[in-house]
Amino acid sequence: MSSSLLDDSGTDSTPRADRTARTRWRRRRTPAVLFIGVLLLGTGLSCLGWVVYQLLGTNMVSNQVFQTERDTLRQKWDSEKARGPKVESEAIPGDAIALLRIPAFGPSYEIPVLSGTDLDILSRGVGHYLGTADPGQLGNFAIAGHRVTHGQPFARLLELNKGDRIVVETRDAIYTYVLDASPRDLTVDDSETWVLDPVPGKPAANPTQAMITLTTCQDLFHSPDRSVGFGHLESTKDKP
């Protein structure tokens, strides 16, 4: 049955006042529906834009920052060597301390290693966990990097295999580590800090070798799980 009343001639017999009120209600409803539609569309486009920026924009920005950090660090090393013997000092969080190379990722892979693992630091390179050993030192040199966004330096970390080499260059030496197991074989919660111990899993033990620990998100997007790979120092080459 139609919602309007028709007389025998097919003419709407609804009182004129009712028809006028209904027309006004429809006119008021149309702008409201249009506004809500535009609002939802704008929200959807904003979310899409944020995702695109995270996946693409942050990588473009961070890759440029990586290059700047690499160039600045090499210039710093050259300047320090020109001044004579190095004066040892503790790195300030955010300072670049080394360069990381992973031959399995190709000859162009070279990422700055910075002191600290805050989010802003990890957008500029790979982060060195404060309190863990320095490169080449006895104990656990532990580092972290993004697997997705912000340059994603560890995007392919789970592709590494036992025996792959990790090269860390500092001002004075080049350290080559060898992986003891693939990072895809060990997943821990981000609260399990035993992987950062000088001897992982043995907090009371004194380290007898230099080792490296690499950590990254297990999943492509943010999660509390971390993939972890351990390796040992194979060789040290002093730089001239």
Q: How many Cβ atoms from other residues are within 10 Å of residue 154's Cβ?
A: 27
Say how far apart CA 38 and CA 187 lie, in whole Å. 44
Length of the chain: 240
The catalytic residue among 101, 124, 146, 147 is 146
Contact 133, 141 (CB under 8 A): yes
Q: What is the DSSP string of 153-190?
A: TTTTGGG--TT-EEEEE-SSEEEEEEESS-GGG-EEET
Say how far apart CA 71 and CA 96 lie, in whole Å. 11
Three-state secondary-structure class, residue 139:
strand
Active-site residue flag, 217 = yes
The catalytic residue among 101, 124, 150, 217 is 217
Q: What is the DSSP string of 73-110?
A: HHHHHHHHHHH-SPPP-PPPTT-EEEEEE-GGG-TT--
Active-site residue flag, 146 = yes
Catalytic machinery residues: 146, 217, 226
